[in-house]
């Protein structure tokens, strides 16, 4: 599994990709690192799932999710990926959207072992990770450089496949789109996330703001974000 040139990738829709590669019909789904649960809601409202268990270790965001209205098929939990409180062979699909690289390095191997444990035989894991490239990444890395953690996450997937813990079905590279109306929205959604404390000096804050401004248009900012999806399966 080798990273391809992200500049050569076509645009894609995450929901369209999942519709093509995953069978959600009456499925029990586990999402690890659901964040604001935006994608969680889309999945529950789009596909005929049986149950969606959404785990999030950021307690501030988790409480916000619990206080909001979501489809009844969604259940929120406070588990980390390395300690999933579910029985063996109980889940049809595991989803991780840009969350594996947030798992501490010391837990990456056990997290993927847990994914394999809870998956049913033939069950699939959809692990979507950002590729370390692109204009959005150039802005983010000014104050939060994820090069090492993203590489560690990719290496952990490779090792899990090599060791036979999970088998690789396919690997997909494409670009997804992220939009911001202005810098205020970027600051709220990216800089002020509760799962990571970003402490920017006044000078760095202005540098980030100026870099962001170079991408502004009358319609706001649109970034094409290169992603990699590893579709894995339990034997």
Question: What CATH number is given to the structural domain containing 18?
Answer: 3.40.50.150
Residue 158 in domain: yes
- Report residue 9's pLDDT band, with 50, 70 and 90 as the boundaries: low
Q: What is the mean pLDDT of residues 16-25?
A: 96
- Between CA 41 and CA 43 the distance in angstroms is 5
Q: Say if CB 25 and CB 18 are below 8 A apart.
A: no
Q: Is residue 121 part of a domain?
A: yes
pLDDT tens digit sequence for 52-110: 999 999 999 999 999 999 999 999 999 999 999 999 999 999 999 999 999 999 999 99
Backbone angles phi, psi at 20, to 5 degrees: -75, -35
- Assigned domain for 195 exists: no
Domain-located, residue 209? no
What pLDDT, in 10s, does the model give residues 205-227?
999 999 999 999 999 999 999 99
Q: Is the pLDDT of residue 4 over 60?
A: no
Sign of CA dihedral 20, 26, 28, 33: positive
Report if residue 72 sits inside a domain.
yes
Structural domain boundaries enclosing 126: 6-177+225-233
pTM of the model: 0.91
**Number of domains observed in the structure of the chain:** 1
Indicate whether 3 pLDDT > 60: no
Q: Flag whether 84 is in a domain.
A: yes
């Amino acid at each position: 599994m080798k990273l391809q040139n992200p500049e050569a990738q076509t645009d894609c829709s995450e929901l369209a990709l999942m519709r093509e590669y995953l069978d959600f019909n009456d499925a029990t789904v586990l999402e690890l690192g659901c964040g604001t649960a935006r994608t969680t809601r889309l999945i529950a409202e789009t596909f005929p799932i049986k149950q969606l268990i959404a785990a999030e270790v950021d307690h501030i965001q988790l409480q916000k999710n619990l206080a909001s209205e979501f489809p009844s098929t969604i259940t929120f939990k406070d588990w980390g990926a390395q300690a999933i409180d579910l029985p063996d062979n109980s889940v049809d699909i595991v989803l991780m959207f840009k969350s594996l690289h947030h798992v501490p390095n010391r837990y990456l191997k056990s997290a993927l072992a847990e994914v394999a444990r809870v998956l049913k035989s033939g069950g699939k894991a959809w692990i979507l990770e950002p590729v370390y490239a692109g204009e959005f990444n150039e802005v983010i890395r000014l104050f939060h450089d994820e090069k090492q953690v993203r590489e560690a996450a990719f290496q952990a997937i490779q090792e899990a496949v090599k060791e036979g813990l999970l088998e690789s079905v396919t690997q997909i590279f494409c670009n997804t789109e992220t939009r911001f109306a202005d810098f205020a929205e970027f600051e709220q959604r990216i800089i002020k996330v509760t799962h990571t404390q970003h402490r920017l000096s006044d000078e760095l804050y202005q540098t980030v703001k100026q870099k962001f401004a170079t991408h502004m248009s009358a319609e706001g900012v649109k970034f094409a974000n290169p992603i990699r999806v590893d579709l894995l399966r339990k034997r």
